Amino acid sequence: MLDLKISSISSKQKSSKKRIAFYTLGCKLNFSETSSISRDFDKDKFSKVSFNDVSDIYVINTCSVTSNADRKFKSLVNKTLKINDKAFIVAIGCYAQLQPRELASIHGVDLVLGANEKFKLPYYLNNITKNTTGKIYSCEIEHVENYVGSYSLNDRTRSFLKVQDGCDYKCTYCTIPMARGVSRSDSLNNIILNANKIASKGVKEIVLTGVNIGDYGKGENGDKEHNHSLLDMIIALDKVNLIHRIRISSIEPNLLKNEIIEFVSKSKSFVPHFHIPLQSGSDEILKKMKRRYMTSMYKERVLKIKQCMPDACIGVDVICGFPGESEENFIETYSFLNDLPISYLHVFKYSERQNTEAFTMNKKVPTHIRNKRSNMLRMLSIKKRRSFYESQIGKKTNILLEGENKNGYIHGFTRNYVKVRAPWNPDLVNQIVFASLKEIDEEGFMRYEVII
């Protein structure tokens, strides 16, 4: 029906379609929301194009976690103006909620939408006349209490499924509660409905995403209390047919209960891969950050995972150069991570964010020291990943292969997040193969041999 309808449109009508392009900065949650927002557009009125193509409208979903994301936004605006200096540029997302006036003042930006308004983007595009200064539509974050579900369908292999939004934690370095509001959750029924929609498209892997998904169930159906727990959701999703793999994108250590670990270890769908933010291996710094655990609890969680799933992959977020982090504090962090059976690190240099408690703290760590500590942790991550990969040589496992030809190779991931590659073969796209892991190649990928 759709093809017939499109073919009947006259050439004049086709040319009157507005071209629209999207770009996402930041996390998996942003990707899921961009994908859902882009699907809202009437295909008779809008034509979605690549962000590198000439477009009438460019929409940038912003991030506020680091100052680098801020700079990237400005760079993208300049890029779009070089492609089309008459383009209508829209900013949505976390940075747009936190600093709308700053974004609106950037040359070329025409429209800034806050946390509530971004989901009504088509409504605000009835008039796309270029503005001298950007227009702002944004409410105070205290008034953002509604929940909008979303999921991505940009990749045939995996989908990011949003299950939760907002955060009630008050970590001293973080702007996310100010950008996304209070913790609130999708209803369990809607999550299962969306998972089935994803499965019907042939997607084989779902990645659960949110701001603080361990807090799932709070704010479900608009209630202030928890209606369901994360474990309830995991058990329900495990029963969805046609989804081969489900990953939990990131979960706070204090919310990663033993019952969840034990269920995942026996699950048919949930994979042995956990990403657990640490932020610091020094209890003194964790207290300054107002994290809700100490290193002893973190270690317990990691060891519990390895007890239940010896081959589990465990990723860690860590921040270096937080205000007051002494050389001794950093060595504590390095040694703590070095001794833990983890698999890789995501390393962040502390980035000053206005209106956070840490912004006003004394004893700032000089930039060159932050850089040095970051480099040390990145080298540790390389060592940890290599050691984890070496432990998997000879293992027999399922590999899900992806859809992009990367310099003549097809890439894929095992259930426990070992990245593999083989010569490009289009017949293998979005296929699961049973294989033996053979060796690590010169670029750090695992080679494999398919078992017939």
| Closest residue by Cα to residue 295 from 264, 337, 255, 233 | 337
In DSSP terms, which residues pair with 437 in a beta bridge? 448
Q: What is the mean pLDDT of residues 58-73?
A: 83
145-271 shares its CATH topology with 299-391: yes
387-407 per-position pLDDT tens digit: 999 999 999 999 999 988 999
Return the CATH fold of 299-391: Transcription Regulator spoIIAA (3.30.750)
DSSP conformation letters of 216-235:
TTBTGGG-SSBSS-HHHHHH
Q: Is 409 helix (H, G, I), strand (E, B) or coil?
A: strand
DSSP conformation letters of 55-111:
-SEEEEEE--SSHHHHHHHHHHHHHHHHH-TT-EEEEEEHHHHH-HHHHHTSTTEEE
Q: Which amino acid is at 214?
A: G
CA atoms within 13 A on the CB side of 271: 27
Tell me what the pLDDT averaged over the chain comes to: 91
Residue 69 clears pLDDT 80, i.e. is over it: no
Spatial separation of the C-alpha atoms in residues 39 and 20, rounded to whole Å:
12
Residue 266 has what pLDDT? 97
Q: What is the mean pLDDT of residues 118-132?
A: 88
CA–CA distances in Å: residue 278 to residues 56, 302, 452: 43, 11, 41
Q: Is 310 helix (H, G, I), strand (E, B) or coil?
A: coil
In DSSP terms, which residues pair with 22 in a beta bridge? 59
C-alpha dihedral sign at 233, 157, 61, 38: negative
Cβ proximity of 167 and 180 under 8 Å: yes
Residue 15 has what pLDDT? 56
| Closest residue by Cα to residue 20 from 75, 59, 52 | 59
Residue 14 clears pLDDT 90, i.e. is over it: no
Characterize the bridge pairing of strands 164-165 and 184-185. Answer: antiparallel
| Closest residue by Cα to residue 343 from 392, 312, 385 | 385
* Of 38-47, 310-319, 398-407, minimum mean pLDDT range: 38-47
Residue 3 has what pLDDT? 39
Characterize the bridge pairing of strands 419-423 and 409-414. Answer: antiparallel
The CATH number given to 17-140 is 3.40.50.12160
Residue 42 has what pLDDT? 75
Extents of the domains making up the chain: 17-140, 145-271, 299-391, 396-450
Residue 427 clears pLDDT 70, i.e. is over it: yes
Spatial separation of the C-alpha atoms in residues 282 and 321, rounded to whole Å:
12
Phi and psi based region of residue 437 (left: phi greater than 0; alpha: psi -120 to 50; beta: remaining): beta
Sheet (strand 245-248) strand order: 158-162, 205-209, 245-248
Pick 425 or 142 by higher pLDDT. Answer: 425
* Of 13-17, 155-159, 339-343, 413-417, minimum mean pLDDT range: 13-17
The CATH number given to 145-271 is 3.30.750.210
396-450: CATH architecture:
Beta Barrel (2.40)
Spatial separation of the C-alpha atoms in residues 169 and 356, rounded to whole Å:
13
Q: Which amino acid is at 177?
A: P
Burial 212-230 (b: 16+ CB within 10 A, else e): bbbbbbbbbeeeeebbbbb
Residue 10 clears pLDDT 50, i.e. is over it: no
